[in-house]
């Protein structure tokens, strides 16, 4: 059976975790609007939703938040090697370092294959991996900058602790709220490349870390999670409003992709971009980089108009990466940590998909159509 390139619109399994309805500009987590959750709920609430299948009550919220906060500290075996991981390479690649550190955690904590593990053990491993991922990423960032890593603070929410661990300062509550909304909005988003990769590995019965490490490998690609900093770099490259049109037309003429615009699923405005635009403007009104937010809105409007003119019928709008970079810049997160911030939330979605996939027993094993020389060819003498 032939399918479209990239498996576009091919249904490969069933899921209870959520869905993306691209034609409507809507996506949800277990039936709840993801944007409504991002506006009204904490990351811990949504984390609980993905693991337990329902939103927590007040007691469950406190218990779960305390439980995952207690999982944030790193094992000594990982602490010892983080400085070497952080120094590796001429360019800082925190997600590559994350893969290495998570693999060591899997060995140090004897994470079993999900095929052999009980549901309770799978859940515990998923929570551990999701809880330590932000700790690892923040520690690698600070070590690379010549600063000591900070111990996670159990008295801070997941979003506040992330900002504290990266910047070294107790964040403003407006910044915490903004980052938390972003984190909630990016926990999951259908069967994207990294999520599908995680499920392929989980389908073999492998351990949670192996599935997450594979997902990270897909995620770091610039066509997937690696775009927030590139979108902000574009704003720097444009520089001023009078250069927007010429810059955008030049990109289209050169057949270059304009980072932060267009989406594989949405044929209308990305709801995450809409929410983040509002957050960016709210932060600007409170004095957080107002010029950047206002310029971003101007650039977005002009580029959408240029794309509509030059690529009629394509319905190309700003996606989540465009305003994600703006909001993170307003919150004091350095650009090298934009994609890691994305990963700090998406790991919750990856592990939830691993848990769901582990409940089945079928290895994901598609086929490929051979288009090489006709077989069998005679083997020439050596």
264: pLDDT confidence band, cut at 50, 70 and 90? confident
Q: What is the mean pLDDT of residues 178-188?
A: 98
Q: What is the pLDDT of residues 204-244, one digit of tens each?
A: 999 999 999 999 999 998 778 766 788 889 999 999 999 99
For the beta sheet containing 32-33, the strands, ordered from the edge strand earlier in sequence to the opposite edge, are 18-21, 26-29, 32-33
What tens digit of pLDDT does each residue of 58-97 get? Answer: 999 999 999 999 999 999 999 999 999 999 989 989 999 9
Q: What is the pLDDT of residue 227?
A: 64
Check residue 228 and give its pLDDT. 72
pLDDT at position 10 is 85
Cα(73)–Cα(67) distance, integer angstroms? 12
**pTM recorded for the entire structure:** 0.94
What does the pLDDT look like over 39-53, one tens digit per residue? 999 999 999 999 999
Report pLDDT for 226.
Answer: 65
Q: In the chain, where does DSSP find H-type helix?
A: 34-40, 43-52, 58-70, 76-87, 94-108, 119-144, 158-167, 173-185, 193-203, 208-219, 228-238, 244-253, 271-285, 290-310, 320-330, 338-358
Higher pLDDT, 259 or 134: 134
pLDDT at 267: 82
CA distances from 109 to 140, 206, 293, 351 (A): 20, 15, 44, 17
Question: Where in the sequence numbering do the catalytic residues fall?
Answer: 263, 321
Mean pLDDT value across residues 196-211? 97
pLDDT higher than threshold 70 for residue 170: yes
- pLDDT given at position 31: 95
352 or 359, greater pLDDT: 352
User: What pLDDT is attached to residue 94?
Assistant: 94
Instruction: Reply yes or no on whether the pLDDT at 201 is more than 90.
Output: yes
Contact 35, 275 (CB under 8 A): yes
Give the whole-number percent of the chain exceeding pLDDT 90.
84
**Has residue 285 got a pLDDT over 80?**
yes
Q: Give the pLDDT band of residue 329 (cuts 50, 70, 90).
A: very high
Torsion of CA 128, 133, 139, 140, to 10 degrees: 130
The pLDDT of residue 72 is: 98
pLDDT score of 313: 86
Asked whether residue 345 carries a pLDDT value surpassing 70, the answer given is yes
> Which pLDDT band holds residue 263 (cuts at 50, 70, 90)?
confident
């Amino acid at each position: 059976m032939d399918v479209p390139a990239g498996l576009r619109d091919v249904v490969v399994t069933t899921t209870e975790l959520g869905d993306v309805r691209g034609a409507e500009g809507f996506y949800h987590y277990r039936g709840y609007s993801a944007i409504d959750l991002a506006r009204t709920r904490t990351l811990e609430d949504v984390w609980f939703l993905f693991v337990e299948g329902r939103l927590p009550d007040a007691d469950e919220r406190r218990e779960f938040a305390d439980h995952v906060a207690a999982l944030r500290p790193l094992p000594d075996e990982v602490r010892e090697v983080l400085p070497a991981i952080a120094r590796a390479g001429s360019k800082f690649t925190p997600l590559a370092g994350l893969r290495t550190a998570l693999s060591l955690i899997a060995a140090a904590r004897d994470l079993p294959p999900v095929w052999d593990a009980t549901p309770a053990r799978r859940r515990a491993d998923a929570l551990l991996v999701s809880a330590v991922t932000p700790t690892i990423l923040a520690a690698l960032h600070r070590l690379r900058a010549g600063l000591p890593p900070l111990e996670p603070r159990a008295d801070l929410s997941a979003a506040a602790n992330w900002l504290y661990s990266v910047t070294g300062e107790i964040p403003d509550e407006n910044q915490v709220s903004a980052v938390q909304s972003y984190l909630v909005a990016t926990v999951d988003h259908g069967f994207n490349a990294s999520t599908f990769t995680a499920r392929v590995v989980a389908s073999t019965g492998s351990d949670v870390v192996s599935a997450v490490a594979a997902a990270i490998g897909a995620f770091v690609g610039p066509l997937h999670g690696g775009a927030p900093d590139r979108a902000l770099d574009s704003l720097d490259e444009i520089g001023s409003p009078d250069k927007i049109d010429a810059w955008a037309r030049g990109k289209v003429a050169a057949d270059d992709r304009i980072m932060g615009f267009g989406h594989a699923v949405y044929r209308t405005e990305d709801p995450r971009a809409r929410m983040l635009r509002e957050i960016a403007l709210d932060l600007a009104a409170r004095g957080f980089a107002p010029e950047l937010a206002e310029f971003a809105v101007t650039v977005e409007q002009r580029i959408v108009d240029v794309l509509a003119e030059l690529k009629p019928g394509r319905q190309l709008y700003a996606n989540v990466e465009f305003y994600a970079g703006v909001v993170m810049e307003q919150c004091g997160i350095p650009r090298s940590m934009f994609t890691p911030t994305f990963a700090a939330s998406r790991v919750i979605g990856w592990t939830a998909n691993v848990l769901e996939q582990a409940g089945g027993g079928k290895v994901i094993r598609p086929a490929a159509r051979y288009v090489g020389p006709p077989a069998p060819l005679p083997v020439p003498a050596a």
